[in-house]
Chains A and B, each alone.
Chain A
Amino acid sequence: MKIVTMDPSICVGCKNCEYSCSFVQKKDFVAKDSNIKVNWYPEDRFCIPVTCMHCQEPWCLEVCPANAISRNENTQAVEIDQEKCAGCKMCMLACPFGNIHFDTNNKVSGKCDLCGGDPTCVKFCISGALQFEEEEDAFYSKRLVLDNKIKKILGKGNSENDSRD
């Protein structure tokens, strides 16, 4: 399936993705309502946009005590049915990437639904860090492969303290 992929090396931290996502849902520019979040660490000059990866085995879906999360037949996106959602927040605790947020007005959880198959954040990303592509092309496998290749060449081990260059 196609998902929104994220390349942090070209993300400039403009947050267009957050604002456009919020606008397309709520007609407002409230970052808190966005289904995509730019995690910004200025002291290390590092930012990464993170949004739902629509996992093959979504823990949020399995654990939801209201059976409110399901996979969309057309887009394959993992979606929250906000009519069924109790707002218990179990999904927020379940997602290992922290991709689910809370709508304090409607008292339900919210997450990316790929805008029905035409994601808005990708359209507004000014650097091209966000793409809508097949998950096999997702950035992590690309970078992992490249990373490992470079490490092999340089003869380095796998260090937790890898700096970003």
Chain B
Amino acid sequence: MEIVIIGNSAAGISALEAFRKYDQTSKVTLISKETDIVYSRVLLPYYLSGKLSQDKMVIRDPDYYSTMQTTIIQNDVVEICEKKKEILLADQQTIAYDRLLIATGSSAVKPPIEGLNHPQIFHMWTLDDVHQIEPLFKAGKRALFLGSGFVSLKAASVATSQGLDVTIYELMPRIMPQMVDDPGAELIEQKMIDSGAKLHVNTATTKVEKKPDGTLVVSAEGKEPLEVDFIIVGTGVRPNISFLVDSKVKVDRGILVNQKMETSVEGIYAAGDVAQGPTTFEEQHQIHALWPTAVEMGKIAGANMSGKSLDYSGSLNMNVSEFFGITAASIGRFIEDDQNEGFVYQEREKDGYLKVVFVQGVPVGGIAVGNPELVPYLGMLRPMIRKKKKIVYPKQKLFQYIHKKMASGSAELV
């Protein structure tokens, strides 16, 4: 069999390793657009903060591809020809496949703001971005962060800790709508204020201009013009599917996949940020642009490409990081609405805030903001969310129940 994997990050690598677990003989070719080494996007902020040296960004050994008996090609895929079962690279090379995995991930997008194409305006998405940002990432430099999602806020947090002068412009009424709830956002916002970072919510940026000395001047509705040395744009990502425009592979915002990570075309699979697939809440097609989801999807795709027929139990969104000295973690559906009920296990005043959201007694999500030691509670919650277990005892006893289950030797948790 000829196996081709397009993509060199979490999903692609997870798929390669899963494939090789079952099939050590078929030929595998991996096409990577960016680099011929495997690096982790998640680690980029830790390089800028000085926590990890540059070599630690690479998460596989130098001889990885030869150990995995895989040919690595650093190139761009421009087209797929499903009839001939071939992919076309930018240098006109064609590569034949029996099974193909599209794990091309996603790319950072720029909102339609005038002047956002000046120099000194970056994304915080690739190794290359970080190399460009690095010379400007010094104490005293003035930086504007557009957007307050995970990536932008993490970058702003690192910048603040490195002594930069940090301003954040967010369009929405509060920060991190995808990752925290209102009380969680309040806690983080307070820490931001304490740290000296300047947060402006409900702020629509209208224009960026450049002064002769290189300073950027940012205009926003209802705000005085802001002068900064550089801007980091963190306003979201979009799946890399432009090369599929003439393809038979069915796409929506991303590539539609079923529980086996199969696309609409036989023999073609998709996984990771580019894939729009099943969630644990029985939604059929959602994009969870998260590292753990990419790893899980890649594992299923790789196994199925080798001939197995595994089903993905569905993505369960989980995310965690530290921002401005406070840890925030969330899992599943943690926003309270009129269909569910939240139960607060720990109020904000002590070590932090821990809440679990239930739908008719079944835990569906949780959020923790505060001390890092709250995070394992969400970890323990994860299997219960996946199994949709209804609790039949007072909600206050949830974690006690989980420990009781461990004590009674329940094999269910393993």
Contacts and interface: CB of A to CB of B under 8 A. Distances in A.
A93 B407 contact: no
A98 B292 contact: no
A86 B46 contact: yes
A140 B404 contact: no
A32 B291 CA distance: 28
A95 B410 CA distance: 16
Nearest to A101: B373
Contact of A48 (B41, B46, B403, B410): B403
Given A88-B42, A92-B376, A44 B409 contact: no
Interface string B103-124: 0000000000000000000000
A97 B412 CA distance: 12
Interface stretch (B87-95, B176-184, B273-281, B379-387): B379-387
Given A63-B292, A160-B392, A86 B376 contact: no
Contacts of B406: 48, 50, 97, 140
Given A46-B407, A140-B411, A161-B393, A89 B56 contact: no
B331 interface: yes
Interface residues of A, number: 46
B409 A147 contact: yes
A73 interface: no
A44 B40 contact: no
Contacts of B391: 160
Contacts of B10: 65
B379 A96 contact: yes
Nearest to A96: B383
A104 B374 CA distance: 13
A161 B319 CA distance: 32
A25 interface: no
Interface size class of chain B, counting residues whose CB lies under 8 Å from the partner chain? 35 or more
A100 interface: yes
Nearest to B17: A62
A66 B43 contact: yes
Interface in B46-68: 46, 51-52, 56, 59-60
A67 interface: yes
A67 B60 contact: yes
A98 B299 CA distance: 23
Interface stretch (B72-80, B133-141, B197-205, B321-329): B321-329
A99 B403 CA distance: 12
Interface string A146-165: 01000000000000111010
B295 A93 contact: no
A102 B400 contact: no
Given A48-B403, A88-B46, A88-B321, A160 B409 contact: no
A66 B46 CA distance: 11
B377 A98 contact: yes
Interface string B388-414: 000111000000110110111111011
Interface in A48-84: 48, 50, 53, 55, 62-63, 65-67, 83-84
A84 to B, nearest CB: 6
Contacts of B51: 86-87, 107
B216 interface: no
Nearest to A7: B407
Nearest to B329: A93
Contacts of A99: 376
Q: Which of A55, A63, A98 has the most CB of B within 10 A?
A: A98
Given A41-B403, A92-B376, 15 more contacts: A62-B14, A65-B59, A66-B56, A83-B56, A86-B46, A86-B52, A87-B51, A88-B43, A88-B46, A89-B321, A94-B382, A97-B379, A147-B409, A160-B392, A161-B393
Q: Which 10 A-B pairs have the closest CB atoms?
A: A98-B376, A140-B409, A143-B409, A65-B42, A102-B372, A67-B59, A8-B407, A86-B46, A92-B375, A144-B409
